Chains A and B, each alone.
Chain A
Amino acid sequence: MVVDARGSYCPGPLMELIKTIKAQPVGATVDLLSGDRGSSKDVPEWVAKAGHELVGVFEEEGHWRIRVRKGR
């Protein structure tokens, strides 16, 4: 599942991720695409707090890909 939140300002990408991950089963992987500078630091913080797993933060051309696995 890919959530494309490019073009959205903080906390838009995070909110999109939260919305999507709620609807997914445990173990599902979600890729968040974000061009917002804050998200690459903000999202991992939220992921850890919310009990999910951060698979990785990948810098791609002009945006970040933040991969998260739903933990609970």
Chain B
Amino acid sequence: MVLLSPELSKLHAGALMASVAASSGMTVNVFASMGALGQFRRQVVEERRFVVDEVGRELLAKDVPLFHRMLADARDLGDLHVYGCAMAADLMGWRDEDFLDLVEDVIGVAAFFGKSEGAQVITI
């Protein structure tokens, strides 16, 4: 699962699919890059500085468990890993400790391809 968009509703869609897949016994590797990676920073989540469209607004208003919560829960239930993109992190000056504990490691595209070899890739 490749997450690129910073939009809350798209992160939600990706996390939802990833968590159901992992809970159903599939191995899931999530690679967060570009704007999506920024949303995995502690500060963004703590201050709820999300990028929202109309669906995102409702997710917040109705207090639905958000993408990071869903992914953390799924990680406890199944074989799910979340990686940050090294390029985006370097470009933006984000350090490993800026990210939620959920982000297991910051890796490059080649490493991600290695992990997802033979797998179906979904990009959001």
Residues of A with C-beta under 8 A to B73: 15
Which of chain A's residues 1-44 have a Cβ closer than 8 Å to chain B? Answer: 9-12, 14-15, 18-19, 22
- One of B17-25, B29-37, B39-47 at the interface: B17-25
Chain A residues bordering chain B, tally (CB within 8 A): 12
Best-buried of A14, A18, A19, A22 by chain B (most CB within 10 Å): A18
Interface size class of B (residues with CB under 8 A): 10 to 19
CB distance from A54 to the nearest CB of B (A): 15
- Given A11-B16, A11-B20, A18-B77, the answer on whether A50 and B25 have CB atoms closer than 8 Å is yes
- Binding site of A, secondary structure by majority: helix, strand, loop or mixed? helix
Residues of A with C-beta under 8 A to B114: none
Question: Is B64 interfacial (CB-CB < 8 Å)?
Answer: yes
Question: Is B118 interfacial (CB-CB < 8 Å)?
Answer: no
Question: Is B65 interfacial (CB-CB < 8 Å)?
Answer: yes
The complex places the Cα of A8 from the Cα of B116 at a distance, in Å, of 32
The complex places the Cα of A43 from the Cα of B16 at a distance, in Å, of 14
Which of chain B's residues 60-86 have a Cβ closer than 8 Å to chain A? Answer: 62, 64-65, 70, 73-74, 77
Residues of B with C-beta under 8 A to A58: none
26 contacts between A and B (CB under 8 A): A9-B62, A9-B64, A10-B16, A11-B16, A11-B19, A11-B20, A12-B65, A14-B20, A14-B23, A15-B19, A15-B20, A15-B23, A15-B70, A15-B73, A15-B74, A15-B77, A18-B23, A18-B24, A18-B77, A19-B77, A22-B77, A46-B20, A46-B24, A49-B24, A50-B24, A50-B25
